[in-house]
Structure 1
């Protein structure tokens, strides 16, 4: 929910069944994005880490949901305290909210707003997990999520979207989470991997995706769910802004996918399925903060720029030596920064607010605001996340032992494997009759038995 909104409904809004139903559907679509992310990441890792990667996303659905009900919604969207945090006793346990009580200025119930924002809170720490593949203790990861959403995500969500939050009041535009979700998660991923170090065999052993079909399935489901993520962030359907965001989401994603593939072909000589999936996600990330401020032509530019920048950025881990396993930094941090800053260039002033970017006569003012938002969230999340990882690593330990990492984290942490071929009947079918003596088949059987 970006700043600069002008409510076009009546002075005293009444509950809208249409908007309420629309937002419940959008909430379900955003919830689907976390399992979609699990498939996307799960296909990108090696076989021995598949289940762990799936579980690192799925556990967020459990932990963050409980914390959101207990106190998270209050911290993020309660009454403002010093422009940095929210707090409302009525939101604790979601116990003081009336069934038909409306979210202030809108035509949807508080419960609907709360559950929609919950799905954002669930997805954000799950994004971090892609940078930590193969090497993190599951119990440590679960505790990290608990601490991270409490001291990083909930406050940052208030800064960006909460009434009174300092970035909200400054006029930083973040339609659906470029700063609060993607820069936040990308910076956190970088902070953690700088603490816990590289995988065994990084830059030496092949670490190719074990199932590109799973990657493509996950990317397709993410693309689908992102329409709820983005279009739903306007919290209604009364003035067409959500429709513009829906169109821009499709346009930017397509442009980014093509741009990534074009760069990949020129740089490496091939169009890869992994590149197509990664390019699509890069476009989705970049349009998330900007799609309510730009035109469809602007969305084309945002997507194309993000596709190329993110494709270039994923190789930086080899140059600088940080092991971002599944390119969370290269896609989510870089894509989030690009999309947020490009608002300051391409905002038309005719969609979600009157703020205009440099190319539409607005000067550098909005670009400056966007830069403040980008680097404030980046710095805070990077530092606090690194501190949390350092404390956990020095106390209970963040990494699995090296031998366990080599043998496979799935078996060690979950006592399971993703694929069990022991009962698949891969061998030759048993004979029901013996071959006749002296026959060719008998001779072959003797050779095999020997």
Structure 2
């Protein structure tokens, strides 16, 4: 009891002069828990789809990315994203303004402590970087991945997140996409999914193909993949709903559109599978759900529930067809990050320009709601800008790491499995 009283007094002293909204603070605290569950969710989703001899390595790529990004975020990442734009250009925040997050200890606004917002956005950054790993499963050195994860966070994610998430404030200049271009991206279709998908494409091209490229995939544990997809689905309510930054009607509407789009996309993916292949698969159902979640991320605050049905259905129908692009163009995107995240992110971002409704939290009308072509053009510009920047810089990072330490495991290590090559542990003790 005494410790609780002391803690309460210390908290009051830290936040003196700031009347935070306790309801919103509690809501974001819960969202942080949901976002954290996405870490094992993504690890299980990816880990179940690779071979048994590399599944632990695949999962550790997710956890490793979280560790690297978490440290960089505290040192200067938060400042690069949400600091005052350097030179007022809207390109990147001042990395020294919030360096070390020292000032966040006592800072708060009318809704929540700054420290809480910093954790919330740190998880966005970490999960975005981890998404890329699915494209390079079974053949990338673990050390090279960790180096790429850190460099990509600094050179790509932090600047792009500033473009998309940093709003102008009192005497503070934010990012150019959200403030000058005024694109709609409620929770990160550009900064998260198009960004990660373009990086995955560039890294996969530089890394090269697996020895088994072109052969039928052999997931070692589809139930793990389905479990991971379920955890990601649950965490996505925090991802999208929490982006409302308030315990409000807007957050509730966002969670509704998130659910609707995911359900529609999963059904659409199953229908495509049944029509094309004659059967429905567990990996397909899981991938369909993820495609819907990806597509609704930018549009969850812009489209009505019926609009969300359309967004999900289009993503669920187009993304499984997009998976064939890797065979056609010869790049080895192992777990279809490009087909799901890049294509799904483009669909969701562009469809805002068609289906946005002023009645929803984003407050904009798209073409089909009488808003004209303006918003559609803006959405296309935002999507293309992020895609090109991420692809080019990601390719350069990959080439630099390749020349410095090498990216690719040896043929023997690829054949024997990455778990035994890089980690003492094994996913399963079969002896």
Contact 1:346–1:359 (Cα < 8 Å) also in 2:
yes
Alignment CA distance shift 1:13-1:414 (3 Å): same
State how far apart, in whole Å, the 2-side matches of 1:407 and 1:91 are.
Answer: 45
Alignment CA distance shift 1:333-1:111 (3 Å): same
The structure with the larger Rg is 1
Aligned to 1:91: 98
TM-score by length of 2: 0.92
Counterparts of 1:16-415 in structure 2 under 5 Å?
A: 16-81=21-86, 82-87=89-94, 89-102=96-109, 106-163=110-167, 164-169=174-179, 170-204=181-215, 206-238=216-248, 240-415=249-424
Deviations 1:49-73 (A, max 9, x none): 1011000000122111110000000
Contact 2:322–2:339 (Cα < 8 Å) also in 1:
yes
* Higher alpha-carbon deviation: 349-358 or 136-145: 349-358
Aligned residues: 406
State how far apart, in whole Å, the 2-side matches of 1:383 and 1:100 are.
Answer: 37
Alignment CA distance shift 1:76-1:100 (3 Å): closer
* Higher alpha-carbon deviation: 257-266 or 411-420: 411-420
Secondary structure at 1:97 match in 2: helix
Shift in Å, 1:408: 0.8
Unaligned runs of 5+ in 1: 1-11, 423-450
Contact 1:13–1:107 (Cα < 8 Å) also in 2:
no
Contact 2:189–2:348 (Cα < 8 Å) also in 1:
yes
TM-score by length of 1: 0.89
State how far apart, in whole Å, the 2-side matches of 1:399 and 1:262 are.
Answer: 37
Q: CA RMSD in A?
A: 1.2
- Structure 1 runs (4+) greater than 4 angstroms displaced: none
Shift in Å, 1:13: 8.0
Secondary structure at 2:364 match in 1: coil
Shift in Å, 1:27: 1.3
